Structure 1
């Protein structure tokens, strides 16, 4: 098998943007996607998440994003991605779940089961959906009810009429409460007091991205961009607000088989615990490259891994938002080209990418 100029892992928004720009630059590459169909993480979202509910979907290069509306996001966005792949002839191979990436001299070897690809550079665009985070609290393994994470949220129907404890201080928790409070008994708990804003401004977005960029520049684990912009109630959450759903309580002391015990010793019966506690970057397959800094994160210079400039990360840290992912795709492709300009294209032959 020939040596590739680059290989992209993941065909979500960041991966498709990167592939588009790699193709435009004339770089030989493939995109490996773990899913059986186009759509990235969007195809796995809950049915009640509509295009009006999402925090905006940024355009892909030469591909305008679908507008807001009542249609389910898990149908609209995958259809858009599929059309984009076809229209631009992107070299996506699926389903291919990458197990590990290793270094072989100046080259990188990407393994998926018994299949192998050899490449001069790598762009990791695996996002976070494959790695849900659930914190551990005393007694949670004894809970006799139903425990769900955001990625398992079944929608309102199965939870109607139940006592639901929503854990987490992000936008997903706010949306879940907005849907569930009118039809279920809900309690909201967070580790920190929520910060509410009247509206999101471009200045807040810039400041949030800058804060996350500074963390990854220092090699610290990234924070969510949304997590540092504050929370905002939309019109569709007004009924839940009137019902008191956003009266937050501090974290419970422990979980018991049929509920939670608060720090003051009082007990609250619970049938469902919904962990809206976020995700972590899905980068375990890169462990063999030794990219992590002493601070526990992957230090980046733009999208380039400082520990190994052959590797670009998009959809990580500041590019984990839809707008950031698209911009990062172009930056990663340009960085790949710059790296190849000064390295061998084939054994024993030194020539630059034109």
Structure 2
């Protein structure tokens, strides 16, 4: 079955919904194709205890403030999912799901979007698939040697699944710190990081991070000295559960081990630690396989953009993949501005 529209948005999470909001305000005809069966994007697959870094009012998509969660300063995952579902409904955004996009192709004056439920032809497309669907594991040749269980952040749900186990959490970012603090009480935890941990000051949350990312982008755009952005402040936001585990002395990081053994891990000096489970909180890569037919990736695998627009395919915009597609664009509060800019550029293109 073949369909036609002005704009196809690929992905129905926070970035796709923000794009839809601005496309609707500009009066464009569009469709949002979402591979998930229900609203909420990647948030509906996160671990149970995950909380936002910012209060609800500072974690909102354009046009609609996230309501506060009763009794909580930092909303939990379910609150975010409910907010996204309400947002989609409130603005009557045209989301079709579950629809998996297989590939985006050039087709004369149009882009042809092939899916598992038909073909869409459009004059422009916005890719908003994020990175949750492409977890990254570091290249350690001894992965297969370990006899226990290995999983990534995306597979972690609750400390109850690991009670009493020897667990090694690998990763010095926010997910690593939050999952390590989650496990610190009921497991024999070893937290391993590539470099010494850097906690942000306890009073810094997502509001300050967004401001830092925006200031850095402005400085770079104006040719001024790089401010360092978020990285200059630290790596880990000290949300309440992380602060509590840290202050109790339960969140102490160990340098990265050098190899895996059948029964655990080993460091360069020969020290060993036994483990039943290793959880790799080692980040993600952008989920861009659907764009492979366009052959846009450079030597490092990244699509070169001017703002959100792909330089080698001006009908395509990239939204929500991090600072290279807009300051803090992978966050709820940060995606609104680049979504607006992308919608405006597309409207100009269509005119």
TM-score exceeds 0.5 = yes
SS of 1:287's partner is helix
Q: 1:179: how far off?
A: 1.4
**Among candidates 327, 332, 347, match of residue 337 of structure 1:** 347
Q: 1:207: how far off?
A: 3.8
Is contact 2:180–2:189 with CA below 8 Å preserved after alignment? yes
Q: 1:72: how far off?
A: 7.5
SS of 1:103's partner is strand
Alignment match, 1:324: 334
Is contact 2:112–2:119 with CA below 8 Å preserved after alignment? yes
Is contact 1:188–1:248 with CA below 8 Å preserved after alignment? yes
Q: 1:15: how far off?
A: 0.6
**2:76 is the alignment partner of 1:79:** no
Distance 1:200 1:2 in 2: 44
**Among candidates 146, 149, 157, match of residue 146 of structure 1:** 149
Alignment match, 1:65: 66
Q: 1:89: how far off?
A: 1.2
Is contact 2:47–2:157 with CA below 8 Å preserved after alignment? yes
Q: 1:82: how far off?
A: 1.8
Is contact 2:167–2:277 with CA below 8 Å preserved after alignment? yes
Q: 1:153: how far off?
A: 0.5
Distance 2:321 2:232 in 1: 14
Alignment match, 2:316: 311
Alignment match, 1:187: 190
**2:236 is the alignment partner of 1:231:** yes
Alignment match, 1:133: 136
Q: Which runs of 5+ in 2 are unaligned?
A: 222-228, 324-328
Q: How does 1:1-354 map to 2 (within 5 A)?
A: 1=2, 3-50=4-51, 58-68=59-69, 69=72, 73-113=76-116, 115-198=118-201, 199-200=204-205, 205-208=210-213, 229-318=234-323, 319-341=329-351
Label 1:201 to 1:87 Cα distance change in 2 as closer, same or farther (>3 A).
Answer: closer
Q: 1:236: how far off?
A: 2.3
- RMSD (Å), alpha carbons: 2.8
Distance 1:263 1:212 in 2: 40
Label 1:235 to 1:58 Cα distance change in 2 as closer, same or farther (>3 A).
Answer: closer
Distance 1:54 1:268 in 2: 39
Label 1:120 to 1:66 Cα distance change in 2 as closer, same or farther (>3 A).
Answer: same
Label 1:51 to 1:252 Cα distance change in 2 as closer, same or farther (>3 A).
Answer: closer
Is contact 2:35–2:99 with CA below 8 Å preserved after alignment? yes
Distance 1:212 1:136 in 2: 31
Is contact 1:35–1:95 with CA below 8 Å preserved after alignment? yes
Q: 1:200: how far off?
A: 4.6
Q: 1:254: how far off?
A: 0.5
Q: 1:214: how far off?
A: 9.5
Label 1:214 to 1:292 Cα distance change in 2 as closer, same or farther (>3 A).
Answer: farther
Is contact 1:20–1:61 with CA below 8 Å preserved after alignment? yes
Q: 1:39: how far off?
A: 0.5
Distance 2:207 2:86 in 1: 30
Is contact 2:57–2:67 with CA below 8 Å preserved after alignment? no
